[in-house]
Amino acid sequence: MKKSYSGKFKTKVALAMIREQETVAELARKFEIHRSLLTRWKKEALEGLPEVFTNHKQRKKNDEKDLVNQLYQQIGQLKVENDWLKKKVDTIKIPERRQLIDKNHQKLSINRQCELLEVSKGALYYTPKPIDPYTLCLMDLIDRQHTKTPFYGNRRLVAYLNTLGYNVNRKRVRRLMQLMRIEAIYPKPQLSRRDKTHKIYPYLLREVRIERPDQVWSTDITYIKIGNGFVYLTAVMDWYSRYVLSWRLSNTLENSFCVEALEESLVISQPEIFNTDQGSQYTAINFLTVLEKRNILISMDSKGRALDNVFVERLWRAVKYEDVYLKDYQTMNDAYRSLKAYMNFYNNERLHQSLKYGVPRASYPKACATVSL
C-alpha cells in the first residue's frame, strides 16, 4: 500500500533539508523515512515556493469558497477525529506516537491516524537503514585514492581495495563512485551522467589561451565525507587568477545549491565564457537561464574529458589534502566553518606556483567586491 504523509510533516522535513544543517543519513534516521523522499520533498518545496507569492488575491477568493464547502464536509469527520485524539496522550517523540496507532479502529484508517499524529506510515513497518560504517569506510578510501590517483578507474580501485583486504566487486565500486560523483580522468565513452532531454553546448576552450581575469569561469561538484554521512561541495572559479568566487554545501545533488553559487558569483562580476561538465545539475534550464540572460557564452566539457575542467579539479585536490582529510569533519556546521576559513586562505594567502608564487586575490582585480562566503 502506498505510504501517505501530511503536508505539515512534509514541510517540516523539507525545511530541515533546505537548512542543510544535517546530512541526508542523519535526517533519514531522525524522521524515520527513506532517503529518496528527503531529496524529492526538498525539490518540490523549492519548486513550489514561487507560487506562494503569485496570484495571491485570486487564490484568496478561491480559497474562501473552497473553505466553506470543505468546512461542512469536515465537521462530521472532525468530530470523530477529535473524540479519538482526546483519548490519546499528546507526545513529541515519534516512537511514542507510533504506539498510539490503533490498527483496529473502525472509523479512522491507519493512514489518517498517521497524518494526525504526524507519523509516517512507513515508520510502523520499516526501520530506516542509514549508510553502514563499512560502506562509509569504502567511500572514504575511494575518495582519498581518487584524489591521489585521479586516473584510476573502477577496475583499479577494486584492485586497490582488495589489496587492503576489502572484498568488493566492480559493480559496488562503480555505484559508490556515481554516488560520490567522481570519475577517472581519461577519455572514455558514456562517461558523463546527464539528462538526455537537456540541451548540451559545445566545448569552446580547446586551444584557447587564458590571458585575463573574467575570460573564463568554471564550476564543478565534489564529495565530502562528514561524520556518519556525506555532503557535496560546489565552487565557481576564475581560470586566470584561480580565484574562488563562491561556494556552497548541499546534502543532495539537487542543483539549487549550484544555482545559488552561480548567482552569488555574478554579484561580483561576470565572465565571457562559463564552463561546466555535462552533468544534469548544469544542463538544467534553471541553471542555463541565469547565464543566457546575461549573454554569457556557455561551454561544456567533452564527454569523457575531465581534464577540460582541470583547474577546479586541482582546487578539489588542494581542499581535500589541506583541509578535509586533516580536519575529519563531524557535522555540516564543522564543514562549513572550516571550508569558509580554508577558502579565505586559498584566495588570500596560499601561494600558487602557476601564479609565480602569488595569491589568487592579487591576480583578480575585483576581489575586493567579493561577498562574504
User: DSSP string of 78-105?
Assistant: HHHHHHHHHTSPP--SHHHHHTT--TT-
Q: How many angstroms separate the CA atoms of 231 and 23, rounded?
A: 7
Q: What is the reported pTM?
A: 0.62
Question: Do 137 and 270 reside in the same domain of the chain?
Answer: no
**Confidence grade of residue 103 (pLDDT, cut at 50, 70, 90):** confident
- Residue 203 DSSP class: P
Q: Looking at the domain assignment, is residue 48 inside a domain?
A: yes
**CA-based radius of gyration for the chain:** 25
Question: Do 269 and 337 reside in the same domain of the chain?
Answer: yes
Asked if pLDDT for residue 87 goes beyond 80, the answer is no
Three cell numbers written together for 73 = 464536509
Residue 37: phi and psi, rounded to 5, are: -70, -35
Question: Do 287 and 349 reside in the same domain of the chain?
Answer: yes
Domain that holds residue 117: 7-125
Question: Do 323 and 358 reside in the same domain of the chain?
Answer: yes
Question: Do 238 and 356 reside in the same domain of the chain?
Answer: yes
| CB-neighbour burial class of residue 266 (10 A; exposed 0-12, middle 13-18, buried 19+) | buried
What is the pLDDT at residue 27? 84
Positive or negative, the CA dihedral 25, 31, 37, 43 is negative
Question: Do 221 and 362 reside in the same domain of the chain?
Answer: yes
Burial call 293-327: b when 16+ CB within 10 Å, e when fewer = eeebebbbbbbbbbebbebbbebbeebbeebbeee
Q: Please give the mean pLDDT across all residues of the chain.
A: 81
| Cβ(242)–Cβ(355) below 8 Å | yes
Summarize pLDDT for 263-306 with one digit per residue, the tens: 999 999 999 999 998 888 899 888 999 999 999 999 998 654 55
Give the CATH number of the domain where residue 361 resides. Answer: 3.30.420.10
User: For residues 304 and 111, which has the higher predicted lDDT (pLDDT)?
Assistant: 111
Question: Do 59 and 110 reside in the same domain of the chain?
Answer: yes
User: For residues 76 and 253, which has the higher predicted lDDT (pLDDT)?
Assistant: 253
Question: Do 239 and 317 reside in the same domain of the chain?
Answer: yes
Q: How many angstroms separate the CA atoms of 31 and 114, rounded?
A: 13
Determine the number of helices (DSSP H) and then strands (DSSP E) in the chain: 17, 5
**Confidence grade of residue 242 (pLDDT, cut at 50, 70, 90):** very high
Residue 15: phi and psi, rounded to 5, are: -65, -40
Summarize pLDDT for 305-344 with one digit per residue, the tens: 555 678 888 899 899 989 998 888 999 999 999 999 999 9
229 beta partners: 226
Q: Looking at the domain assignment, is residue 118 inside a domain?
A: yes
Q: Looking at the domain assignment, is residue 46 inside a domain?
A: yes
Q: How many angstroms separate the CA atoms of 216 and 238, rounded?
A: 6
Q: Looking at the domain assignment, is residue 226 inside a domain?
A: yes
**Confidence grade of residue 58 (pLDDT, cut at 50, 70, 90):** low
What is the pLDDT at residue 154? 86
Burial call 21-53: b when 16+ CB within 10 Å, e when fewer = ebbbbbbbbebbbbbebbbbbbbebbeeeeeee
Q: How many angstroms separate the CA atoms of 72 and 365, rounded?
A: 66
Question: Do 222 and 91 reside in the same domain of the chain?
Answer: no
Q: Which of 241, 239, 270, 218 is nearest to 364 (CA)?
A: 241
Considering 125, 156, 188, which residue would you say is the last residue of a domain? 125
Q: How many angstroms separate the CA atoms of 283 and 280, rounded?
A: 5
| Cβ(255)–Cβ(280) below 8 Å | yes
| Cβ(174)–Cβ(183) below 8 Å | no
Q: Looking at the domain assignment, is residue 331 inside a domain?
A: yes
What is the pLDDT at residue 122? 67
Considering 86, 102, 125, which residue would you say is the last residue of a domain? 125
Q: Looking at the domain assignment, is residue 1 inside a domain?
A: no
Decide: helix, strand or coil at residue 15: helix
Asked if pLDDT for residue 246 goes beyond 90, the answer is yes
Q: What is the mean pLDDT of residues 250-275?
A: 92
Summarize pLDDT for 170-219 with one digit per residue, the tens: 999 898 888 887 777 654 433 335 555 668 899 898 888 999 999 999 99
Question: Do 158 and 223 reside in the same domain of the chain?
Answer: no
Give the number of domains in the chain: 3
Question: Do 110 and 154 reside in the same domain of the chain?
Answer: no
Asked if pLDDT for residue 373 goes beyond 50, the answer is no
Q: Looking at the domain assignment, is residue 98 inside a domain?
A: yes
Question: Do 43 and 109 reside in the same domain of the chain?
Answer: yes
Q: Which of 246, 240, 241 is nearest to 219 (CA)?
A: 246
Summarize pLDDT for 88-102 with one digit per residue, the tens: 545 445 666 777 788
What is the pLDDT at residue 371? 41
Asked if pLDDT for residue 370 goes beyond 60, the answer is no
Q: Looking at the domain assignment, is residue 200 inside a domain?
A: no
